A and B are shown apart, each in its own frame.
Chain A
Amino acid sequence: MGSGGDGRRSAAVAIVSSALFVVVVGFAITRAPGWDEVKRTFFDWGYFKDSVPEIARAFKLNVKIFCIAEVFILAFALVLAVFRSLPGPVFFPLRALAIVYADFFRGVPTILVIALLGFGAPALQVQGIPRSVIFWGIVSLVLVYTAYVSEVYRAGIESVHPSQEAAARSLGLTRLQALRHVILPQAVRRVIPPLLNDFIGLQKDTALVGTLGAIEAFNQAAIDTSATFNYTPYVAAAVLFVAITIPLARFTDWLILRDRRRRQAGSVA
């Protein structure tokens, strides 16, 4: 019972300290000399109400970009990670390709990849190459995030003990079968939290496609802001992004918890 009492007490302490924190920070901010101006230009309820429906409509484009890109990223990154973990000198070209790819696309800022492809590729004026900026925005995000996510996969693959593969091979599985049925299932499960972490990053980076002219949430907010010189639409866009990433973060937590419970249950049995 003692632990229940402790729980209640620590909950109370947490509530009091949080409240105190909010009060102190709130006091400091509202006492700042520019607070009135900030309140007027960033937190105007009228502008907020007016801008939300349009930004929400534009936000659908972010979600669409995110969903399409995600599917390709998951597939391509897995292929790249497998390339990189292939053993033996025969596969050196594939390994090298995977390394160069990951180095390059993790090194170039996403916004540059988007600008280069979004304006450069259509400028070739080649028949059959799409001109849609959304298409090129998605391609850029897939290229960049594939590099990140392949590293996450690779970490997962390398975390599976070599004895697992040895055991699988000794049961008569081929190297590919061992990878498919033994290594990858364990590897992927372990890296789900960092994978979701990258998804959250991707969700936010969809806003970069706006630099090509597509009207997504950030661009719509920028349009509203520049029309009125009031920044409240930016706050509205931020609220929308947070509203979608927070559930994703909680879902990640839940997955981790479930996984841990299962593994603990497994070890008991």
Chain B
Amino acid sequence: MRKILLALAALAVMAVASAFTAAGSSAPASASAIPGCAKAALNLVGDGTLTVGTDNPAYPPWFGGGTPYKGSSWKINDPNTAKGFESAVAYAVAQQLGFTRSQVKWLYTPFSRSFAPGPKSFDFDINQISYTPARAKVVTFSASYYNVNQAIVVVKGTKIASVRSIRGLKPYKLGAQLGTTSYQYIVNRIRPSSRPAVFPKNDAAVQALKNKQIDGLVVDLPTAFYVTAVQVPNGKILGQFPTTAGGEHFGMVFQKGNSLAGCVNKALANLKRSGALGKIQQTWLAKATGAPVLR
């Protein structure tokens, strides 16, 4: 009796599963708009799904949507909502490659896992990761999806808040998030007299700024706007730093040599040409412009 029940249950599961796959294939999955990048030919971690990695919590303006639904594994903003700049870009790229919304799967990937050697568990990781030549020896980067400037956040009314030049920042204790080019910027360009602090996550860095354990926090400009708007209400953007030679840009991270990167680059080129990428940027990062430039 028990065996029969089990068999019936198994049958039911199979029926449901096949119904779902049938629904999936009959859905009007827009065919890939890019020649040579048919969905079936893409080098994917999971068949038929685009697995995208990002960190958790995911912060605005890169990820949005506010408090996720109950049961979501994302703490602040669920990337599945397609809200926020990076989530929107990922879905736009996915659509270019012929994936439907439901065929995009998000995977929690701390920054340190994004470049760990060995096979990757995501197709690409999108997490405000800046391209550098040294990094590109280990992973493959997509083309730029955002050209970024660094900025510095301080607390209103503190001594550092009246500084107007890069040189004026030297005597202060600055901080940045681990692994960011913001840290490199402090060390290589600002060259402060005391060693900067470096924090494993954004929230730790923000807490240190609130506690006045650091005087200034260097982050990318859009993050600076989020920090001052939400995380440190009495904070202000002291200014953004001038674009460095050659510029700095965010790229998606792929397993070294993954052919998928070529197709994603074509998708990004399409999105740039059609103005879609500009529109996404307008939607999510419009507020993130217009901070005074420190010289």
Residues of A within 8 A of B (CB): 34, 37-38, 41-42, 119, 122-123, 125, 131-133, 211-215, 219, 222-223, 226-231
Contact = CB atoms under 8 A, between A and B. Distances in A.
B197 A223 contact: no
Interface residues of B, number: 32
A69 B196 CA distance: 23
30 contacts: A41-B117, A41-B138, A42-B117, A119-B211, A122-B211, A123-B207, A125-B212, A132-B213, A133-B208, A212-B197, A213-B197, A213-B199, A213-B204, A213-B205, A213-B208, A213-B214, A215-B195, A215-B197, A219-B198, A222-B112, A222-B178, A222-B179, A222-B198, A223-B183, A226-B111, A227-B132, A228-B134, A229-B135, A229-B138, A229-B139
A133 B197 contact: yes
B175 interface: yes
Contact of A223 (B137, B179, B207, B211): B179
Interface in B97-150: 111-112, 115, 117-118, 132, 134-135, 137-139
Contact of A229 (B115, B208, B214): B115
A241 to B, nearest CB: 19
Contacts, number: 84
Contacts of B183: 223
B118 A34 contact: yes
- Chain B CB within 10 Å — which of A37, A211, A223 has the most? A223
A211 B112 CA distance: 14
B117 A34 contact: yes
Contacts of B197: 133, 212-215
Interface class of chain A by DSSP: helix
B200 interface: yes
A128 to B, nearest CB: 14
Nearest to A123: B211
Closest 3 interchain pairs by CB? A226-B179, A213-B197, A229-B138
Interface in B244-272: none
A223 B198 contact: yes
B157 to A, nearest CB: 13
Contacts of B212: 122, 125, 131
Contact of A119 (B117, B134, B180, B207): B207
Contacts of B198: 213, 215, 219, 222-223
A92 B195 CA distance: 48
Contacts of A222: 112, 178-179, 198, 200
A38 B132 CA distance: 21
Contacts of A125: 211-212
B234 interface: no
Contacts of B207: 119, 123
